[in-house]
Amino acid sequence: MLRTFTTQSEEIQHLITNDPILGDVIKKIGTLTYTTDEGSLEFFVDTIVSQMLSNKAANAIFARLKDICGGEITAVKLEPFSISDLRDTGLSERKAGYIIGLAKHFRENPDYFDTLAGKSDKEVMNKLTKLRGIGPWTAKMYLIFVLDRPDILPFEDGAFQQAFRWAYPDIECNEKNMKEVCSPWHPYASIASRYLYWAVDSGLTKPGNG
Domain coverage including residue 21: 7-36+151-201
Q: Are 74 and 105 in contact (CB under 8 A)?
A: no
**37 belongs to the catalytic site:** no
**pLDDT reading at 202 higher than 80:** yes
Write down the catalytic residue from 24, 67, 157, 170. 157
**pLDDT reading at 7 higher than 90:** yes
Q: What is the mean pLDDT of residues 90-119?
A: 93
**pLDDT reading at 134 higher than 80:** yes
**pLDDT reading at 94 higher than 90:** yes
Check whether residue 138 and residue 159 sit in a common domain.
no
Tell whether 175 is covered by a domain: yes
Confidence band for 174, pLDDT divided at 50, 70 and 90: very high
**pLDDT reading at 210 higher than 90:** no
**Is omega for the bond preceding 187 within 30 degrees of 0, making it cis?**
yes
| Beta-bridge partners for 2 | 35
Q: Are 80 and 96 in contact (CB under 8 A)?
A: no
Task: In whole angstroms, give the CA distance from residue 37 to residue 146.
Answer: 5
**pLDDT reading at 72 higher than 80:** yes
Q: What is the mean pLDDT of residues 19-45?
A: 93
Among the ranges given (35-39, 56-60, 88-92, 175-179), the one the predictor scored with the smallest mean pLDDT:
35-39
Task: In whole angstroms, give the CA distance from residue 36 to residue 45.
Answer: 17
Q: Are 33 and 3 in contact (CB under 8 A)?
A: yes
Rg from Cα positions in the chain: 18
Among the ranges given (58-62, 111-115, 199-203), the one the predictor scored with the smallest mean pLDDT:
111-115
Tell whether 65 is covered by a domain: yes
Calculate what percentage of the chain has a pLDDT beyond 70. 99
Check whether residue 68 and residue 11 sit in a common domain.
no
Q: What is the mean pLDDT of residues 13-34?
A: 96
Q: What is the mean pLDDT of residues 151-164?
A: 95
Domain count, the chain: 2
- Give the pLDDT score at 195: 97
Check whether residue 59 and residue 141 sit in a common domain.
yes
More confident residue, 151 or 40: 151
- Could you give the count of Cα atoms lying within 13 Å of 160 in the half-sphere of its Cβ? 21
**pLDDT reading at 206 higher than 90:** no
CATH number of the domain at 116, please: 1.10.340.30
CATH number of the domain at 172, please: 1.10.1670.40
